[in-house]
Structure 1
């Protein structure tokens, strides 16, 4: 695929400077070729832009005169996403339903659905227009999947779940596995049947090998626009609000309620039965211990307000080695004083 720079500018609603060259792809500043577009988001890479071989650079107004051809944007990162989307090649090469897939006779698939070989679609499942189910995926009985969804290879969507429109489920993700519920008895742990469901709203993306447990009795809910990274654990009965970002290796305990626009950075630990308010940000590797107010930023384990954590980490932690030496010295001096005092008592 190739586009004139002028056509690309019209498509994005942007202005351009320089020659109306052909653009055939997108690449980084240091690796782009003369027929590729690159981008400058962070000014610290300005030196790379001045030396780039890219045919055109997507950048903001103040830097547009640094290169012969520029696509000028007020929001470079957003427009970069649009450009990459134009040139990205979609995964897959098939259309229609493969004869090697198993489709239960009672399942309902729109005529525009694509199902790859060795996928399984259970009884009374309903799959909407334009959705693609890749090889090895499992769609359980009674599950509803909306329009224009993608379920990538070896993903599992268990029975009785509801998935909205424009949802992406990446390889190996498991939706609707049993929640972690056991009753302790004198003879061991008795499993509590998990008979609830999972509801995924529109425009949600679920990363590879992420697990979202079905509720014990009610619903595990992921609301619209939320993006979940790889290797995330979402416990049973959890509710995640709209447009949240949940980053890799985060674990969320059962029955926790997360508001809208929340960011949980990598390896965040969230216990069960707490509430995290709208717009809160929890930094990487933080351990949350209780309810989080709306709009706050927390860091550390246990998590604390960001300014407090930065004072502790930035001011106190670097001084610990010297403090340890001082304490050891004081202990020796104290021991010497005690020994001298004891010796004086013996002389008396």
Structure 2
């Protein structure tokens, strides 16, 4: 892997507009305030342009609607979207993944009926159960459990501590971070007839996860009571997220940390759920809608709408209410 680049090389990769120049080789990216003279940084908002003069970085990536003076032996790369450009830079300097000394560690337990694709890597103390199917180039880091009849698609990466329960179906190019739970029982209980206890409702469904889905550490996707809990292609789920039984997520949805879906929630395509937001059971949030952080959704949300608050309402109406309450308090 190449460890340093000239600013011109980076500009060629980004297809930006180069202003100024620097003779300094760039050895990595860093935040504005922390960057050293051999590093590149980025600015995506006018809020941070004033920090450029004090930064030690030799180069900066900025949105093309911003104006900066590069300064002596410093360079600016103007691009349409500085965040996306920085993602490309981070990929260039991304350290290699942990090394597997052998493709399948001798301590891994793999059932005789399991089918293992070409180029798979299975780490120490993994368990692969009966009739499991792993596609090509699947990576299971140490201490992963994949239970019976589960199917995992090509190029999916599963990090340590993750448990994928029986009969789940996972797509291609997914990433499950540390300690993810896929397919645990949904939370189903009813009072017993005698009123003296709770009866557990069997959860006999499974979880189906599409392609290019990424799920953060310590998140849970519960199996369905019947049928399937479904996560659509391209969804991105943060750490510590709960997705309950029989919920269905469309394509390219985003759920931020500590948010949760109760049972049988439906999300359309491109829905964004802010951090710590909670969604009531049997609710539908239609395509393109956004739920603000900390909100509580108790009813359906129209397509493209943004809701805030607890209970969540139209964002403009909720902001008006907050302003009115503040005025009352001041009086």
TM-score by length of structure 2 reads 0.92
Partners of 1:120 and 1:264 in 2: CA distance: 34
How far off its partner does 1:173 sit?
Answer: 1.1
How far off its partner does 1:72 sit?
Answer: 2.1
**Does residue 87 of structure 1 match 2:96?**
no
**Does residue 134 of structure 1 match 2:136?**
no
Partners of 1:274 and 1:239 in 2: CA distance: 11
Three-state SS of the structure 1 residue aligned to 2:221 is strand
How far off its partner does 1:9 sit?
Answer: 2.4
Q: Which residue is 1:251 aligned to?
A: 260
Aligned-pair Cα RMSD in Å = 1.7
Three-state SS of the structure 2 residue aligned to 1:212 is strand
Residue correspondences, number = 322
How far off its partner does 1:111 sit?
Answer: 3.0
**Structure 2: unaligned runs, 5 residues or longer:** none
**Does residue 198 of structure 1 match 2:207?**
yes
Q: Which is higher, the Rg of structure 1 or of structure 2?
A: 1
How far off its partner does 1:131 sit?
Answer: 2.1
Q: Which residue is 2:82 aligned to?
A: 76
How far off its partner does 1:22 sit?
Answer: 2.1
Map 1:137-286; keep pairs closer than 5 Å: 137-187=144-194, 188-286=197-295
How far off its partner does 1:12 sit?
Answer: 2.7
How far off its partner does 1:26 sit?
Answer: 0.7
Q: Which residue is 1:65 aligned to?
A: 69
Partners of 2:198 and 2:82 in 1: CA distance: 54
Partners of 2:88 and 2:138 in 1: CA distance: 22
Deviation readout 1:196-248 (Å, 9 max, x if unpaired): 11111111111111110011110100001111111111111100111111111
Partners of 2:179 and 2:25 in 1: CA distance: 39
Partners of 2:283 and 2:32 in 1: CA distance: 45
Partners of 1:13 and 1:120 in 2: CA distance: 46
Three-state SS of the structure 2 residue aligned to 1:291 is coil
How far off its partner does 1:321 sit?
Answer: 6.5
**Does residue 56 of structure 1 match 2:70?**
no
How far off its partner does 1:55 sit?
Answer: 1.9
How far off its partner does 1:320 sit?
Answer: 3.2
Partners of 1:63 and 1:92 in 2: CA distance: 41
Map 1:333-344; keep pairs closer than 5 Å: none
Contact residue 64 and residue 72 of structure 1 kept, 8 A? no
Partners of 1:21 and 1:321 in 2: CA distance: 55
Deviation readout 1:13-51 (Å, 9 max, x if unpaired): 334331464221110111112221111112211121122
How far off its partner does 1:132 sit?
Answer: 1.4
Partners of 1:90 and 1:162 in 2: CA distance: 28
Give the 4+ runs in structure 1 shifted more than 6 A: none
Partners of 2:259 and 2:310 in 1: CA distance: 14
Contact residue 6 and residue 20 of structure 1 kept, 8 A? no
Q: Which residue is 1:16 aligned to?
A: 18
Map 1:11-50; keep pairs closer than 5 Å: 11-17=13-19, 18-19=21-22, 21-50=24-53
